[in-house]
Amino acid sequence: MKWILLFLLPTLAFAQPSKEQQFRFSLNTVIKNSTMPDVRPGMVVASPSRENPDYYYDWVRDTALTYRAMVDYYELTKNPQIKKMIFTWIDSETYRQNQPTFTGLGEPKYFIDGSGYTGGWGRPQNDGPALRAVAMIKFARLMLQENNQDYVLKKLYHGVIPADSPIKKDLEYTAHHWREPSFELWEEEMGLHFYTLLAQHTALQEGAKLAQELGDAGAADFYNEQARQIGQMLLSQFTDANIGIKATIRRVNGGLGYKTSNIDVAPLLALNHNAPYQKLFSLKSPHVVKYVNTLVSVNRQIYKVNHDYPNLGVAIGRYPEDKYDGYVTTKEGNPWFLSTLALGEFYCQVRNEAKNSKLNDLIEKQFARALFHSDRKGAMSEQINRYDGHMQGAYELTWSHNAFMTAMMRCGLVKRK
Ligand code: NOJ
Ligand code: NOJ
């Protein structure tokens, strides 16, 4: 018996967790990063890392995506602890929406006491309010299903101007600012972005439905009309014969300058984050297919880890010209966990629609790629070194774990209660 144990131990130490085990690890890490004792309740740190890099702040985008996943998880499990966290998050967003900041609701990043960040930053970032609205609208729907209309009217949506409820504030901000350039999700370039605009389109479209149901018909018309115009812009100005979908147009002052291909994982993230709501871009449409094929082949090509481990899925970075290595913006970019997992999630969306079991193998390989580069005990940082495959950048990044959770849920691998 003893001998068998001795033989097994080293293998166990290096064994990768199963997807289901990693889901538990990721959920626990997200909860941990969302309940830090020195952080205002309801706020989420992007990572526990306080230096090199300092991610000990709450980014509106990261937190909105975190809680969108929490709402999705609550829908599946009806877990009361998660529900309580969601209530606390809504109170905290309500508080922070009323804080003075440099750019109002477009402020991307907050100190952990809930006040707006005061240092230099790429601001505004107008995806944040839209993503937050979509997460809250979904929760409002669940509360309506639970016959808790009181909560919705009191805490989430109230049809008055000036807006005094969180969803309406975000919708008003979005409806009035989408035409203006803002920084994209990577916080580097001012312009108009596919990612931001698709999030804004969804927020206004879903917001219009909620407004209509809650008797705010005039607002519903206005939100719908803005959503329609955004849709028109996305379809006409962001599609491209060579790369399918462009990430950014109308860069202000030339943007970064070196980001020339316009091939970016951001549209892929957008197609995940706006499902199942957006109907502008069918996953089978020629532009989407062209875009995803281009994205995958470029990423497969540029990272050594993809050549070294060709049997795993493709490790995906932000964009080919990226110089952010997780610490400084003057080196070489790497694959990221969240983008690598996003490709798996995307394949699951396609499979869900088309019942195409040929994708099963590709899906498994994307999960395997992410688990392979994790520490095999549940930890995931921001990035994966493109040469040696080790983790780097902010450790235990909330968004990496969130991406694991959303991929699992989209792939139907988390059980409904
Ligand atoms: C530059 C990176 O490219 C950007 O994405 C990041 O948010 C900031 N540095 C802050 O770390
Ligand atoms: C850098 C990423 O580029 C940005 O999207 C994110 O919001 C922050 N890090 C925080 O995770």
Q: What is the mean pLDDT of residues 41-60?
A: 98
What's the gap in Å between 120 CA and the centre of ligand 1?
12
Tokens of 379: 């930890």
- Specify the higher pLDDT residue, 404 or 10: 404
Per-residue model confidence (pLDDT) at position 192: 98
DSSP output for 326-377: SS-SSS---BBHHHHHHHHHHHHHHHHHH--GGGHHHHHHHHHHHHHHS-SS
Q: For residue 356, what pLDDT band results from cuts at 50, 70 and 90?
A: confident
Query: What pLDDT, on a 0 to 100 scale, did the predictor assign at position 341?
Result: 98
Q: Looking at ligand 1, which atom is closest to the CA of residue 329? A: 1
Q: Where are the alpha helices (DSSP H) in 162-216?
A: 166-177, 194-213
Q: Whose CA is nearest to atom 10 of ligand 2?
A: 46
Q: pLDDT digit string (tens) for 63-112?
A: 999 999 999 999 999 999 999 999 999 999 999 999 999 999 999 999 99
Mean pLDDT (the chain) is 96
- Distance CA(383)–CA(317), nearest Å, equals 8
- Structure tokens that stand for 225 in this block: 């009309």
> Residue 355's pLDDT is what?
85
7 pLDDT band (50/70/90 cuts)?
A: low
| Cβ(180)–Cβ(126) below 8 Å | yes
pLDDT tens readout for residues 115-145: 999 999 999 999 999 999 999 999 999 999 9
Q: How far apart are CA 65 and CA 243, in angstroms?
A: 27
Residues having CB closer than 6 A to ligand 2 are 46, 55, 59, 61-62, 185-187, 399
For residues 206 and 89, give the distance between their C-alpha atoms in angstroms, rounded to a whole number.
Answer: 20
88-102: buried (b, 16+ CB within 10 Å) or exposed (e) per residue? bbbebbbbbbeeebe
Closest protein CA for atom 11 of ligand 1 = 53
CA of 142 to the centre of ligand 2 (A): 29
Residue 47: what pLDDT?
A: 99
Mean pLDDT of 268-280: 98
* 204-225 pLDDT, tens digit each: 999 999 999 999 999 999 999 9
> Given this model, what pLDDT does residue 10 score?
47
Which domains does the chain possess? 1-33+282-417 (no CATH), 52-242+249-262 (1.50.10.10)
Average pLDDT of span 342-369 = 95
Q: Tell me what pLDDT residue 15 has.
A: 85
Q: In terms of pLDDT, which residue wins out, 264 or 10?
A: 264
> Residues enclosing ligand 1, CB less than 6 A?
53, 186-188, 324, 329
Beta bridge partners, 192, equal: 249
- Confidence at residue 1, expressed as pLDDT on a 0 to 100 scale: 46
Nearest ligand 2 atom to the CA of 398 is 11
For residue 28, the model assigns a pLDDT of 98
Query: What is the identity of the amino acid at 84?
Result: K
